[in-house]
Structure 1
Amino acid sequence: MKKGLLVFIIFMMSFMAGCGNQEKVNIIEDNYRNYYEIFVRSFYDSDGDGIGDLKGIVEKLDYLKDNDFKTKNDLGIDGIWLMPIMPSPTYHKYDVTDYYSIDPQYGTMEDFEQLIAKSKERGIKIIIDLVLNHTSAKHPWFLSAVKSLAIEPCGQDVCVHAELCREHNKYVNYYNFSQEKKSGYHSVGMPTGWYYEGVFWDQMPDLNLDNPEVRKEIENIGKFWIDKGVAGYRLDAVTSFYTGNISKNVEFLKFFNDKMKSYDSDIYIVGEAWSDANSIAEYYKSGVDSFFNFPLADTTGKIVAAVRSKNGAQLSKTVEEYQKKIKEINPKAIDAPFISNHDMGRSGGFLGGDLASEKIAAALYLMMPGNSFIYYGEEIGTLGSGKDENKRLPLLWSAADKTGITYAPPNADYKGTIEAGVMEQEKDENSLLQFYKKAIRIKNENPEIQRGVVTSIDLGNDALCAYSLEYEGSKLYIVHNLSVDQVELKLSSEEYSKLKLKESLTTDDEKIILKKGNLTMPARSTAILK
């Protein structure tokens, strides 16, 4: 055989192998994603100033998704949620002073554009935190409004004052001012006798969302970032737009959702409605794609309760009932399960630092239908609780090499730490990080998991969280054993007898075995059957 022909054949075999791997991943261009929440300040520092930045995320994109389908080195992330990146006087940046810029601590607009471009090359979509309930008290809109409050209306068609009086300054109507002290209102100071609504904090004045001019500003802001390449938004505090008024909150969300999708029909929006399941379901009337599934999350949530009680049967019923509820309201609804976020204690802490508990908890929420949201560092067991700064501590890239590791946020005082960072856990096949990688890979290779219609299955053992997922005529079965004991199942019915063990997730070195219809599951393990 000629050398040239041999090289060509080897090349084609390599190419076809690569294509095969790519097909196996089942890339579907829709709004189902594995999202990774990043607090930019604490993620990765590219320039040595101790503060994480956008360039740092670019440097670490291969950790999230390297786009090499022949390897399993990356986490498998295809969506990033950036916590606020706009200019702000606070470390957390949930009080914006300029909706059209990047905070200088994080970099430049050019850095952001590079992040968008490099992420797009890897098939990663980026959504950004958008804070619409309030601005910073240092926002030029608010500063202008307060200045004009002291100037009495002039009653003229054209303002006769060098500075616009409160009758003519449109920014006065951007906020909710009053000469009466009401609940949630704060004194302006000077001029005396004026108050403004600021439900969260006196440095976060609430916007007047009934004002058409404010809504037009919001529409322009949304379009600006869409034009920059964002794939959508995480909307902060949607229950506080009109506090206590779900119907008005839903109306505003519908306005925003409709406007953004008129610019790009593929825009993905997820809202923070920190409430009970029934209330969250009501918000799906807005047409917004997703709302975080808060009843599942945190130390008191249903996932951790199931892990602690070793009872998974009720959890599978809950997942089925909730999906049915939100799909009846909005057939295109996408659930957003998670276990912790930037406002909660770290899951590594409230699960007691127990590796097996962390793994089975991860398996539970990652194998649920919808878009799972992973809080940065959760995949390595990061710790932190108490004040908010402690919940947003630096990602430990390595216990030995401090390159890129940021300073803690100001006033953080949490002293706990984990022994192994990303670098160490990448070398340990039994680590939490490797477990996350495998779980996400299984999701990416089986579209039924994210997109399927879920049906709870009662296997006669409360320790088992079991359900099927059906998508486009293909059905897949998931069984989680939450017990600390081995479980044996006889798959004798006609529906189950032909199933094969497609994938498995175990918390130790023991194996799941399916032989002649007998399924043997070690403690705290997950079987994926098809």
Structure 2
Amino acid sequence: MNHKKRAFVLLLAGLLLTGCAGTNAGTEDSAAAESTASSAVTSTAENTQEASTKESSTKSNRGNRSSKSSDAQTLTYDGTSQMDEVNASLVPADIDDDYRTTYEIFVYSFYDSDGDGIGDLKGVTQKLDYINDGDPETTTDLGATQIWLMPIFKSPTYHKYDTADYETIDPQYGTMDDFDELLSACHTRGIRVILDLAVNHTSVENEWFVKAKDYLKTLGEDEEPDDSVCPYVDYYNFSWEKQDGYENLSGTNWYYEARFWSGMPDLNLDSDAVRSEISDITKFWLDKGVDGFRLDAMTSYYTDDSTKSIEFTKWLTDTVKGQNPNAYLVGECWDDQSVYATYYQSGIDSLFDFQFAGQEGTIAKTVQGKISAQSFSDQMMKEEVLYSSYNMDYVNAPFYTNHDMARSAGYYAGDDGSKTKLAGGLNLLMTGDAFVYYGEEIGMKGSGKDEDKRAPMYWTQDANSDGMTVGPPDMDTITMKYDPEDVQTSDPTSILSYYRNAIRIRNAFPVIARGSTETVSGISEDDICAFTRTMADDSLDPVLVVINCSDSEQSVDLSADTASSDYADLAAVLTVSSDAITLSGSTLTLPAYGTAILTK
């Protein structure tokens, strides 16, 4: 993608904590720092040099902060308070690309607006201020810039991945007017909306399947179906013979393909008629203003045939892009990284980065110490090369957990929340479009069967309070480990506050999501992960990220590697407690699980 064509509002590299200036700084320097902390530099591709000049000029008003100066100062930042000083008005709200922070919502369990115990679209609208209130001056929202709505189409099941009607809102969730209201409210706030699209299969209650079934029941024992009489028999894969993954069509001798379960008949994706239907569906939603789709179960498009599955993904991508070139597509290809990487050949924008996700993914292994901290950045570098070999314009889609995985609160025995925070921070410091599953930001629990992974959003401890949902049928009783949202929201050391701060950092430094990763090996080790994030065309200012992945304080000499020695400004910090991060000369000291963002 040509980043030079985009305009960015950049956070000034040095954001000073009020009252926490350098130990040798005078009152005048402190006042100057407070003044410049709320400043902004606007740059475009055409005036990058001008923007650089402006920033350099502004830096001169911050006091003597360079480690290369003979009068180097000790800079001390309290992690929690420092992030309160990140001016949200500097977040680049006008960026309109696919490098975002996406909040995944299971509507059924999110927020109930009408008291029936089931979450609904009006409930999501009512809670948009929690996700992103649209006001850059506030700091009490998450700051997510995109939401992914798990299936909202008419369906007979609670999860709604078996669609009965692709162009109708499920009555449990509300009406099309409710959806239009939600979409408008999101766009007003600068939030994009993508919908879950499951086209590998439908519900047995889908009109297409019902008509095909009724027709097959009229056929004689040796009579072959005629799609000119009933076109819907070509929509699915029917057979006289019982095959692996096929179910008996009740009342007949016919069988139909249903790889997931009998209630989800697989579509015949070779059918031109089916592809035409899918094209009509995507156009319907794009015409309404939807910003894109999450593609479900891509590896199942053609079972055990990735070549054909990639071909179909390419057709679907080309179709959607032909309808709206700016539409965003992210795909679920749950397989080994070497396999899902090949799906980038289709031209799809993003693929979920399963290599880093879940209890056995790179993020959790880094936090658990099963792999070195340096391995985290090394693996990011490796996958950037891998993905770009298939599609230079790919946008990674990192995530930590999702609706099919055990929730992260159960990953770390005896964790006081510190490791849960660090893991969330690692995810949000990755490149691309980072995804956060609802409730992850408050450390919700839930594992085992799917229903338990999709428990009610823990807004408050009182299950009978307004807005609380009852959760999926057959869900077990879950005792949460951490406080509910209404308690965490006012606690500056909570998991929720940590996520808010991490997303604010991600938004405030656009290069974090958009740049290339390079491990700084001279200062990286088992406990320290250090990497730079840069743009090949220098369109965005680079950053150095240093993360202490251990449970004890660590010090790093930035002068030990030429790749880090020029980063003299401690621009932002992310800590799991109120412990301070300090930069004294070239020595950076990080408390347990602390993260520092440095600029030149």
TM superposition score category, shorter chain reference? over 0.9
- Residue identity matched to 1:391: K
Identify which of 313, 330, 333 aligns with 2:391: 330
Residue of structure 2 equivalent to 1:529: 598
For the 8 Å contact 1:490–1:519, the answer to whether it is kept is yes
Alignment partner, residue 429 of structure 1: 492
Q: How far off its partner does 1:309 sit?
A: 1.1
Match of 1:503, SS? strand
Is the aligned partner of 1:216 residue 2:280? no
The alpha carbon displacement at 1:314 in A equals 1.0
Q: Report the equivalent of 2:505.
A: 442
Would the alpha carbon gap of residues 419 and 309 (structure 1) be closer, same or farther in structure 2, given more than 3 Å must change?
Answer: closer
Residue type matched to 1:177 in 2? F
**Residues 390 and 412 of structure 1 are in contact (CA less than 8 Å); yes or no, is this contact kept in structure 2?**
yes
Q: What is the 5 A alignment of 1:8-23?
A: none
Q: How far off its partner does 1:415 sit? A: 2.6
Q: 405-414 or 145-154: which moved more?
A: 145-154
* Aligned residue in 2 for 1:57: 124
- Aligned partner of 1:137 in structure 2 is 204
Deviations 1:418-464 (A, max 9, x none): 45211111111110000000000001110000000111221252111
Q: 2:327 aligns with which of 260, 263, 267?
A: 267
Instruction: Work out whether residues 88 and 504 of structure 2, in 8 Å CA contact, stay in contact via their aligned partners in 1.
Output: no
Alignment of 1:20-419 (within 5 A): 24-27=90-93, 28-152=95-219, 168-192=229-253, 194-309=254-369, 311-352=372-413, 353-400=415-462, 402-419=465-482
TM-score (norm: length of structure 1): 0.92
SS at match of 1:116: helix
Is 316-325 or 492-501 further displaced after alignment?
492-501
Residues 18 and 228 of structure 1, relative CA distance in 2, 3 Å threshold: farther
CA offsets 1:200-236 (integer angstroms, 9 cap, x no match): 0011000000000100000000000001111000000
Secondary structure in 1 matching 2:556: strand
Which deviates further from its counterpart, 408-417 or 299-308? 408-417
Amino acid in structure 2 at the alignment position of 1:448: V
The residue aligned with 2:534 is 470
Deviation for aligned residue 1:181: 0.8
**1:17 CA drift (Å):** 8.0
Which residue is equivalent to 2:566?
Answer: 498
Q: Tell me: CA distance 1:114–1:460, structure 2 relative to 1, closer, same or farther (3 Å).
A: closer
Shift of 1:508: 1.4
Per-residue CA deviation, residues 449-484 of structure 1 (Å, 9 max, x unaligned), is 000011122125211122111134121111111111
Structure 2: where are the runs of 5+ without partners?
A: 1-34, 43-86
Asked if structure 2 preserves the Cα contact closer than 8 Å seen for 1:479 and 1:526, the reply is yes
RMSD: 2.1
SS at match of 1:127: strand
Distance 1:131 1:460 in 2: 42
Partners of 2:184 and 2:157 lie apart in 1 by 28
Shift of 1:486: 1.2
Any conservation in 2 of the 1:151–1:165 contact (CA below 8 Å)? Answer: no
Distance, in Å, in 2 between the alignment partners of 1:328 and 1:19 is 34
SS of residue paired to 2:169: coil
- The sequence identity of aligned pairs, in percent, is 45
Q: Deviations over 1:237-266 (max 9, x none)?
A: 000000111111111011011111111111
Summarize deviations over 1:325-381 as a string: whole Å, max 9, x none: 111211110111111100011011223453000011011110011111100000001
Q: How high is the TM-score relative to the length of structure 2?
A: 0.82
What is the rounded CA distance, in whole Å, between the counterparts of 2:485 and 2:571 in structure 1? 28
Aligned AA (2:92): N
Q: Displacement, 1:399? A: 2.2
How far off its partner does 1:127 sit? Answer: 0.2
The change in CA–CA distance for 1:347 and 1:460 in structure 2 (over 3 A counts) is: closer
Q: Cα gap change, 1:403/1:152 in structure 2, threshold over 3 Å: closer, same or farther?
A: closer
3-state secondary structure, aligned to 1:282:
helix
Residues in 2 aligned to 1:89 and 1:343: alpha-carbon distance in whole angstroms? 19
The answer to whether 1:457 aligns with 2:520 is yes
Indicate if the aligned counterparts of 1:476 and 1:528 stay in contact, CA closer than 8 A.
yes
Name which of structure 1's ranges 458-467 and 427-436 shifts more when overlaid on structure 2.
458-467
Q: Distance in 1 between matches of 2:250 and 2:136?
A: 60
Cα pair 1:395 1:405 within 8 Å, conserved: yes
Tell me which amino acid in the other structure corresponds to 1:123: G
Q: Output one character per residue of 1:151-183: Cα deviation in whole Å (capped at 9) or x when no partner.
A: 3489xxxxxxxxx96651000000000001110
Bigger relative contact order (CA 8 A; separation at least 6):
2
